[in-house]
């Protein structure tokens, strides 16, 4: 997914908002690194589409708040053998 970085950032933001996706899920879907997703969303997107940035920021804040819960569930699943 090379090409116009602004367009890529916008498409990433739309995907994250529509699917309530994590940075990791978006990176996997678009075949790019988590670092690239983060840079596109946090540095490039605010420069030309502030409203979209604010929407995606809300989703990422929720994901960040829930991260420790998902990690605990994954650990539990690992040791339960399920």
Q: Residue 18 has what pLDDT?
A: 96
Q: Residue 65 has what pLDDT?
A: 87
Q: Residue 52 has what pLDDT?
A: 94
Counting as low any pLDDT under 70, the low residues of the chain are: 1-3, 82
Q: Residue 15 has what pLDDT?
A: 97
Q: Residue 81 has what pLDDT?
A: 75
- For residues 40 and 57, the answer to whether their CB atoms sit within 8 Å is no
């Amino acid at each position: 997914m090379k090409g116009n970085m602004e367009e890529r950032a916008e498409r990433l933001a739309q995907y994250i908002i529509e699917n309530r996706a994590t940075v990791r899920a978006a990176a996997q879907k678009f075949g790019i690194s988590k670092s690239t997703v983060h840079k596109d969303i946090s540095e490039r997107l605010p420069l030309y589409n502030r409203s979209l940035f604010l929407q995606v920021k809300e989703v990422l804040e929720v994901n960040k708040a829930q991260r420790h819960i998902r990690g605990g569930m994954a650990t539990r699943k690992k040791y339960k053998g399920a």
